[in-house]
Copies of this chain bind each other. A is one copy, B any other.
Amino acid sequence: MNKQLLFVKRPIGAADAATWSLEKNPIPEINEGQILVKQHYVSLDPAMRGWMNEGKSYIAPMEIGSVMRAGSVGEVIASKNQKFDVGQYVAGTGGVQQYAVSDGKGFYQIDPKLAPLPMYIGTLGMPGMTAYFGITEVAKVKEGETVLVSGAAGAVGSIVGQVAKIKGCRVVGIAGGPDKCRYVVEELGFDACIDYKNENVASRFKEVCPKGIDIYFDNVGGEILEIALTRLRMHARIVICGAISQYNTKTKIKGPSNYLSLLVNRASMTGMVVFDYADRYKEGAQVLGGWLAQGKLKSREDIYEGIENFPETYNRLFSGDKMGKLVLKVIED
């Protein structure tokens, strides 16, 4: 049987157990042009909350009754598609289910010998590509700059900061709790990390970035974006990658009241969506993969188990109770 998590109710505010319904259905047959993927891991990402909303966005909203959208990795166990062979491992957007049928669109072959499977939905997948192209292409990071990253222990932020370090920058992270901050500084090599849950961000910020910042890579929005805006250097660039602090709000999102700092500092704020770099993912994965192999880049996945546990695992995205890339193992041994 195929356990599938269906998206059954659009949440108002935070998603909860009523948002999804777990169903068991027969493993589907495939038609000409299709593949059947036995999924091993699915990816959990803050962007999921946005996909649940109705209305125009950078991607179509999920339809009620559809399988919960998610990145995934697994093995091709049946193929009527010339591009894929049985036994190959693939990554794609297979959704939160144990078996995925696809016409192959968006799936691509991966090599489980080069890296563990979960890394292909983390550092070598969307979050890694977001980080890599965000900091290099959108922020156009340059040697010697000061880079601030929120969500610094997370799947995207941890890579952003490490890439900026490799590029010769001073890097300051923002993360929740002393464990994450220690990890960010001691394991990932950031120059400093501010614990937004226990420290006064504004005053710590002055301490660790006395001359301000050239780049702010924003994954969180809200108050931290406001504080970052007070510390811009001339020609600073803010990359708007996400706003996790605002995703569950039931009221209007909090916009940055001090956005005129952009004017004063001739600074910019630019939104990004990783899909725009799809034709360069291979390049990005090669660069990040090279750094991983050389030990210059560290990747950490926080893996939970059991498709039944999706809702509570998903909540860790917002509570912050996780370390690194959040992944759910859906294959049953």
Contact = CB atoms under 8 A, between A and B. Distances in A.
Interface string A251-277: 011111111111111111111110010
B255 A240 contact: no
Contact of A272 (B246, B252, B266): B266
A240 B258 CA distance: 12
Q: Which of A268, A271, A272 is packed against the most chain B CB atoms within 10 Å?
A: A271
Q: Which of A58, A259, A265, A267 is packed against the most chain B CB atoms within 10 Å?
A: A259
Given A253-B258, A257-B253, A257-B254, A263 B242 contact: yes
Given A255-B255, A258-B255, A267 B264 contact: no
A105 interface: no
A241 interface: yes
Interface of A: 56-58, 221, 226, 240-243, 246, 252-273, 276
Nearest to A260: B243
B276 A263 contact: no
Contacts of A246: 260
A269 B256 CA distance: 12
Nearest to A259: B255
B266 A268 contact: no
Nearest to A238: B269
B264 A270 contact: no
Contact of A266 (B253, B254, B273): B273
A226 B257 CA distance: 12
Contact of A267 (B257, B258, B263, B271): B271
A51 to B, nearest CB: 12
